[in-house]
C-alpha cells in the first residue's frame, strides 16, 4: 500500500470534465467531478476498473480482486467518490462470488458501498438516496441467503435476470425486499431492456458499473458504456498465470490459465471499435487515474451468455 491520507492529494494533469454540482471540502484533493445529465430512456453509465500496465484486471488465484492490482488507498478513495455519485452500483455475479471465495463462505461476501465518512456526507449533499447494489445473473444457482448484500440492512439490493431466472429466484420467497428486474425471454436476458427498467422503475439516473470483465463486455457490445474511469497501476503481471503461483482448487487441471483484461467476451472489429475522448488525467504516487468518454459507438447484436465461448476460451474456472 502507498502511504496516503483518507483524502488523497491528486496531481491534476488535465481535466475537461463538468464542474462539481456542489462545492464540497471532500473534493479538495481531487478537484471537480461532475456528470452530464442522463439520456431520456436509460441511466448515464460510467465504469471503474483498475488495471496493470499490461492491461490485466485480475491476477486470479488467491489474490484475484482488483484491489490486489491497485494496492493504492487513492484508488480505494476514488472508488468511494464514484460510488457517492451513483444511484446504483452494477456488478456481474462473479465479482461477488470472487469476493466470497477469497474471504470464505462464512464471510457471506461483501457489500459494495461508500465507507469514507466525508464521501458519505458528500453523497447526502448531492441528494442521492440509499445506496444500491445491482447484480446481473442468469439466476441458475443463485441462493440469496448466501450473500449478506441481499440482507437489505446495508444497501438496497437489486437483481437483474432473465424471466426464467426471476421465476427461480422468486420461487424461494425468502427475500421480498430484493427488487428483481426481469427482461428478455425464457432464459435469455435482455440487458439493455433491464437497464432501461432501472431508469423507469427505480429512477436510476447515474449508474456505476464496477465490473467484472464479462459484464463490461456485454455492456460495451450493447453500446451502453458512456464513460470509463481507468486506474493504471504501476505494475506488470503478464497474461498467463506463472507456474510458481499457487492454484486454487477450481483452477487445478486447467492447462493454461489466462488472466483477464477489462473486456470479456467478443470484442469489436476495426470497423466497429468504439472511440473515446480522453477527458481527464490525474496522478497519485505512480498511479494514473484516467477518465474517457465515448465519442462513437455502434450497438451490436447481443449474444446470449449461453452462446459465448468466453468461459471456455479464457479457461476461467468460476463457481462457488
β-strands 44-51, 88-92 pairing? unpaired
As measured in angstroms, the least distance from the Cβ of 127 to ligand NAP is 27
Rule CB under 6 A: say whether 191 interacts with ligand NAP. Answer: yes
Of 54, 57, 61, 122, give the one whose Cα is nearest residue 92.
Answer: 57
Strand partners, 136: 92, 160
Rule CB under 6 A: say whether 100 interacts with ligand NAP. Answer: no
Size of the site for ligand NAP (CB under 6 A): 31
Of 114, 119, 155, give the one whose Cα is nearest residue 20.
Answer: 119
CA trace torsion 173, 131, 80, 26 (10° rounding):
-170
- By beta-carbon proximity to ligand NAP, the closer residue of 93 and 110 is 93
Binder to ligand NAP among 92, 109, 192, 297 (CB under 6 A)? 92
- By beta-carbon proximity to ligand NAP, the closer residue of 210 and 226 is 210
Span interacting with ligand NAP, options 6-14, 20-28, 114-122, 214-222, rule CB under 6 A: 214-222
Instruction: Record the cell numbers describing residue 52, joined without a space.
Output: 496493470
* Distance of alpha carbon 144 from the chain centroid: 20
Cα-flanking dihedrals φ and ψ of residue 140, to 5°?
-75, -45
Rule CB under 6 A: say whether 65 interacts with ligand NAP. Answer: yes
Rule CB under 6 A: say whether 64 interacts with ligand NAP. Answer: yes
Rule CB under 6 A: say whether 82 interacts with ligand NAP. Answer: no
Span interacting with ligand NAP, options 89-97, 124-132, 244-252, 282-290, rule CB under 6 A: 89-97
Span interacting with ligand NAP, options 60-68, 169-177, 241-249, 286-294, rule CB under 6 A: 60-68
Rule CB under 6 A: say whether 43 interacts with ligand NAP. Answer: no
Buried/exposed 26-58: b ≥16 CB within 10 Å, e otherwise = bbebbeebebeebeeebbbbbbbbbbbeebbbb
Binder to ligand NAP among 4, 20, 72, 94 (CB under 6 A)? 94
Contact flags string 161-180 toward ligand NAP, x per CB under 6 A: --------------------
| Burial (CB count within 10 angstroms: exposed 0-12, middle 13-18, buried 19+), residue 105 | exposed
Helix spans in 109-253 (H): 117-125, 163-172, 191-202, 213-221
Rule CB under 6 A: say whether 210 interacts with ligand NAP. Answer: yes
**CA-to-CA distance for 128 and 108, rounded, in angstroms?**
27
Rule CB under 6 A: say whether 213 interacts with ligand NAP. Answer: yes
Chain residues that interact with ligand NAP, rule: CB under 6 A: 49-50, 57-58, 64-66, 69, 91-95, 98, 136-138, 140, 142, 189, 191, 210-215, 218, 264, 305, 318
Amino acid at each position: 500500500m502507498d502511504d496516503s491520507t483518507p483524502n488523497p492529494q491528486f496531481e491534476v494533469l488535465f481535466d475537461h470534465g463538468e464542474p462539481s454540482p456542489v462545492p464540497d471540502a471532500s473534493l479538495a484533493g481531487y478537484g471537480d467531478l461532475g456528470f452530464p445529465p442522463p439520456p431520456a430512456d436509460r441511466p448515464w453509465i460510467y465504469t471503474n476498473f483498475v488495471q496493470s500496465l499490461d492491461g490485466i484486471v485480475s491476477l486470479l488465484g488467491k489474490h484475484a480482486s482488483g484491489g490486489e492490482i491497485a494496492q493504492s488507498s487513492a484508488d480505494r478513495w476514488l472508488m468511494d467518490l464514484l460510488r457517492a455519485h451513483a444511484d446504483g452500483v452494477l456488478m456481474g455475479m462473479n465479482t461477488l462470488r470472487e469476493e466470497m471465495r477469497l474471504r470464505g463462505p462464512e464471510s457471506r461476501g461483501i457489500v459494495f458501498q461508500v465507507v469514507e465518512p466525508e464521501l458519505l456526507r458528500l453523497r447526502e449533499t448531492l441528494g442521492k438516496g440509499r445506496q444500491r447494489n445491482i447484480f446481473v445473473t442468469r439466476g441458475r444457482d443463485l441462493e440469496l441467503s448466501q450473500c449478506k448484500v441481499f440482507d437489505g440492512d446495508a444497501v438496497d439490493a437489486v437483481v437483474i435476470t432473465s424471466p426464467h431466472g426471476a421465476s427461480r429466484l422468486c420461487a424461494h420467497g425468502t427475500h421480498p425486499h430484493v427488487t428483481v428486474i426481469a427482461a428478455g425471454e425464457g432464459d435469455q436476458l435482455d440487458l439493455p431492456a433491464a437497464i432501461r427498467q432501472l431508469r423507469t422503475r427505480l429512477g436510476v439516473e447515474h449508474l456505476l458499473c464496477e465490473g467484472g470483465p464479462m459484464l463490461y463486455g456485454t455492456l460495451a457490445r450493447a453500446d451502453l458504456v458512456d464513460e470509463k474511469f481507468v486506474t493504471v497501476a504501476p505494475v506488470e503481471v503478464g497474461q498467463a498465470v506463472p507456474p510458481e503461483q499457487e492454484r486454487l482448487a477450481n483452477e487445478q487441471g486447467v492447462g493454461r490459465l489466462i488472466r483477464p483484461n477489462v473486456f470479456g467476451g467478443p470484442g469489436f472489429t476495426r470497423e466497429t471499435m468504439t472511440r473515446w475522448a480522453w477527458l481527464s488525467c490525474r496522478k497519485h504516487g505512480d498511479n494514473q487515474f484516467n477518465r474517457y468518454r465515448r465519442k462513437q459507438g455502434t450497438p451490436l447484436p447481443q449474444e446470449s451468455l449461453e452462446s459465448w465461448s468466453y468461459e471456455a476460451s479464457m479457461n476461467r474456472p468460476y463457481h462457488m
